[in-house]
Amino acid sequence: MPTSETSHSNANIRHRYRERTTASGFRSSSNQSVKTDRSRQLDISMLTQGLGWFSVALGTAELLFPRGVTNASGVARPHSGLTRLFGARELASGIGILTSRGQAQAPWIKARVAGDALDLAALGLALLAPRNRRSLTLLSILAVAGVTALDVLASQELQRQRTSRADRFTFGVPIETTLLVNQTPQACYDFWRKLENLPTFMHHLESVKVADDGTSHWVSKAPLGTHVEWDAEITDDRPGALLSWKSLPGSQIHNSGTVRFEEYVGGRGTLLVVNLVYDAPGGPMGAALARVLGEEPKVQIRDDLRRFKQLIETGEIPTTRGQPAGRRSRLSRLFGKGETP
Amino acid sequence: MKANCWYGKHDLRVEEVPDPKILNPRDAILRVTSTAICGSDLHLYNGFVPGMMEGDIMGHEFMGEVVEVGKGVKNLKVGDRVVNPFPIACGSCFFCQGQEYSLCENSNPNAQFAEKLWGHSPAGLFGYTHLLGGYAGGQAEYARVPYADVGPIKIPEGLSDDQVLFLSDVLPTGYMGAENCNIRPGDTVAVWGCGPVGQFAIVSAFLLGAGRVIAIDRFPERLRMAREHGFADTLNYEEVNVQEALKDMTGGRGPDSCIDAVGMEGHLPGVLGSYDKIKHIMRLETDRPIALRQALMACRNGGTVSVAGVYGGLIDKVPFGAIVNRALTIKSGQTHVQRYLQPLLERIQKGEIDPSFIITHHMALEDAAKGFDIFLKKQQECVKVVLKPGDRSELGKGSSPPTVH
């Protein structure tokens, strides 16, 4: 008959299957109280959906029938190449809007506004050319101006909703990654708890500075050479076991994370379980774009954890940057692939 | 410094490149005194392995004198003479602690790429594509060695470079290939490939208790070396049918274990060989498992096939049914060199083995391209080429007349 002692020791050997909390646990329940707020959300989403479909339709037309479109705008010369380019841009915005929800649509709406400005400028130039049918061009300008107004409206409303909903996530990109580390949970926790250490293995972070009141200021690299900054606080701290943090309301980017330091079965070290949620600017299309640029979040965090493991197991991160080589090809120099990280 | 750099298929150039420097606290810099060309280097030379970039420095079999150590290296000092193992191992991960150094979890900075190809990443290697870290190799005047407190072994006085250089790769590789056969006293072991690894596998098989070793190749000088230095019985596969011969020699049962010391660029005359060659050229097959197929068919029931030769990708038409229905064991892996350095060095010191017998050519580093060419084409009875950086006084241009010691 197993005593409580043997069952306890058995627990160390046998892995007990447990429910894994996913990052979706960070999605808060919707706030029921403000009905008008909700109905405004619906209005805006109907508007953005409409704009998305409009973009898709117009973009497709510009791509497939460029001469038809220029004729309808009263422009005499075909300008097929340029129209197709505009069409591609229009289509991309449309797809971006239609594949995002809520706040993630905001950058795509902004892209539409920029596109509208381009369209208006092009049509404005067309007005100056004598061979064009100016009445048609004017009509097009009016139509585009109307759509521009809707775009601006949508953009502003999304912005307003963003700041009022700062502490609730309506769209997060949940990421969970694990890694087995040949060290004790306590040692792993101690290293991670010093938040200033994070940039040594999280290469997308420029710096993390901890203030006296326990909050921290984070600076991160973002796609296309930009930067993002936010402040965060520790929300749960169990030494040797768990650490949770969350960005403060009003942050440029909403980010929260939990790292668990679990003792792995069989005495095989520590299982690092990292859950991250953050608002990816641009939704799934934005994430897809980031992937193309080589910065997909899940891959990034896994590489970060690999570097954490290298640091804590060996004291250094292996590198070949700075090693000698013969002449690199032009292509590899262009992509900076002459050396590995 | 001068270094042998890769620029494409059959395009190696010894050029002036910057000297290596300490990049991490546990690094050391060696002045390379001897470095060899490996059979697996030929796969890079022939353009069969993905992940090479123009300008990569070749070479993973090297030894030399320590000229600089990082702050974190306590066991080596400037002036020490060391042989350096070809896998890079951190010493503190799960695999290194289990003495499986070629499986180190930390030493490949490009682990994510190797993962995509093979499921998980093995250790980083010197001079062997960016899949395995893109580390600059040792066919150069100087080399940077990461985790220098784990890898290099100090060489005592009284042993020449030629006697110990092969501790870096081919000697432990042949030894581990034989060890993986789980040889019982008196066993018959068949070895495909009488290049350097095959030669050392033959010698090691006897050291580990084999009663008989049968060696298979087509080059007379290599078969002769196997007979004279390895005391093996030999088969020339261009003259006899190997499967039939092995059956005859073992009374129908087959060898107790088989070692594939050939790898991905196997050769066979006739239609079967052409099948693999054509598929290989058309990139429908990445590796040519000629020797592996033969070994699987020839091995006795319940025996072990030890794959010491290098394969990189996918193989075709392998008799898996033979493995399942006849209870064969397959053992393989990149050599855990660090594990074998000390024991094999002791055997060399005791005179139980003198690895220098495989050397047929000494050349200056500058002649590396010529060395590769001779080695690839098996010209001048070439078995092993050793390059000497910077030390021209002993050598003329080109190779010395081949001698089998």
**pLDDT of B343 strictly over 90:** yes
Q: Which residues contact B99 (CB under 8 A, 6 or more apart)?
A: B336, B338, B339
* CA angle, A146 then A149 then A150, to 5°: 95
Mean pLDDT of chain B: 93
Note whether A335 contacts B: Cβ–Cβ < 8 A.
no
Q: Which one has a higher pLDDT value, A165 or B298?
A: B298
Q: Which residues contact A3 (CB under 8 A, 6 or more apart)?
A: none
The span from the CA of A285 to the CA of A56, in Å, is 15
| Residue of chain B whose Cα is closest to the Cα of A183 | B93
Burial string for A3-25 (b: 16+ CB within 10 Å, else e) reads eeeeeeeeeeeeeeeeeeeebee
Tokens at A121, concatenated:
């400028």
Contact B140 A316 (CB under 8 A): no
Note whether B112 contacts A: Cβ–Cβ < 8 A.
yes
Tokens at A178, concatenated:
């694990």
Residue A164: the pLDDT is 53
Distance (Å) from the alpha carbon of B119 to chain A's nearest alpha carbon: 15
Output the CA–CA distances (angstroms, integers) from residue A185 to A154, A235, A237, A312, in the order listed: 48, 20, 14, 11
Residue B382: the pLDDT is 97
- Which residues in chain A touch residue B72, judged by CB atoms under 8 angstroms apart? 315-316
- Which residues in chain B touch residue A302, judged by CB atoms under 8 angstroms apart? 112
Q: What pLDDT band is residue B277 in, cutting at 50, 70 and 90?
A: confident
Per-residue pLDDT reduced to its tens digit, B204-237? 999 999 999 999 999 999 999 999 999 999 999 9
- Which residues in chain A touch residue B5, judged by CB atoms under 8 angstroms apart? 325-327
Q: What pLDDT band is residue B101 in, cutting at 50, 70 and 90?
A: very high
What is residue B282's three-state secondary structure?
coil
Q: Which one has a higher pLDDT value, B264 or A14?
A: B264
Contact A332 B92 (CB under 8 A): no
Q: What is the DSSP secondary-structure string of A256-278? A: EEEEEEEEPGGG--EEEEEEEEE
Residues B296-322, mean pLDDT to the nearest whole number? 94
Which contiguous run of DSSP H or E holds residue B163? helix B161-164
Query: Over its length of 341 residues, how does chain A's per-residue pLDDT go in tens digits?
Result: 444 444 444 444 455 555 444 433 333 333 434 446 677 777 788 889 999 999 999 999 999 998 888 888 888 787 888 899 999 999 999 999 998 887 788 889 989 999 999 999 988 888 887 777 888 888 889 999 999 999 998 888 888 776 554 433 334 566 789 999 999 999 999 999 999 999 999 988 899 999 999 899 999 887 677 888 889 999 999 999 999 999 998 776 777 889 999 999 999 999 999 998 766 556 665 555 555 545 566 777 889 999 999 999 999 999 999 999 999 988 777 665 544 43
Q: What is the separation of C-alpha A95 from the centre of its chain, rounded to a whole number of angstroms?
A: 16
Tokens at B384, concatenated:
């092993």
Q: What is the DSSP secondary-structure string of B45-59? A: HTT-SS---TTEEP-
Interface of B with A in 147-166 (CB under 8 A): 147
The span from the CA of B146 to the CA of B143, in Å, is 10
Sole residue written with tokens 């921290």: A216
Distance (Å) from the alpha carbon of B109 to chain A's nearest alpha carbon: 6
Q: Could you say which DSSP state residue B120 is in?
A: S
Note whether A306 contacts B: Cβ–Cβ < 8 A.
yes
Note whether A302 contacts B: Cβ–Cβ < 8 A.
yes
- Which residues in chain B touch residue A320, judged by CB atoms under 8 angstroms apart? 23, 109, 133-136
Distance (Å) from the alpha carbon of B134 to chain A's nearest alpha carbon: 7
Q: Could you say which DSSP state residue A76 is in?
A: S
The span from the CA of A224 to the CA of A222, in Å, is 7
Per-residue pLDDT reduced to its tens digit, B169-218? 999 999 999 999 999 999 999 999 999 999 999 999 999 999 999 999 99
Whether A275 and A23 have beta carbons less than 8 Å apart is answered as yes
Note whether B115 contacts A: Cβ–Cβ < 8 A.
no
Contact A318 B106 (CB under 8 A): yes
Contact B23 A182 (CB under 8 A): no
Q: Which one has a higher pLDDT value, B146 or A22?
A: B146
Sole residue written with tokens 């006795």: B300
Give the torsion sign (CA, A61, A67, A71, A76).
positive
Output the CA–CA distances (angstroms, integers) from residue A174 to A199, A279, A290, B156, B360, in the order listed: 21, 9, 15, 57, 60
Q: How many CA atoms lie within 13 A of A154 on its CB side?
A: 30
Whether B196 and B383 have beta carbons less than 8 Å apart is answered as yes
What is residue A85's three-state secondary structure?
helix
Whether B165 and B175 have beta carbons less than 8 Å apart is answered as no
A89 has which bridge partners?
none
Tokens at A98, concatenated:
């239609």
Residue B266: the pLDDT is 80
Note whether A321 contacts B: Cβ–Cβ < 8 A.
yes
Q: Could you say which DSSP state residue B398 is in?
A: S
Interface of B with A in 16-75 (CB under 8 A): 17-21, 23-26, 53-57, 72
How many angstroms separate the first and last alpha carbons of chain A?
Answer: 56
Whether B358 and B225 have beta carbons less than 8 Å apart is answered as yes
If you count them, how many residues does chain B have?
A: 405
Closest CA to B45 of B35, B59, B62: B59
Sole residue written with tokens 């991960």: B93
Does the predicted model carry a pTM greater than 0.95? no
Q: Which residues contact A15 (CB under 8 A, 6 or more apart)?
A: A265
What is residue A338's three-state secondary structure?
coil
The span from the CA of B260 to the CA of B39, in Å, is 13
- Which residues in chain B touch residue A337, judged by CB atoms under 8 angstroms apart? 53
User: How many percent of chain B have pLDDT more than 70?
Assistant: 95
- A to B CB pairs, distance under 8 Å: 114
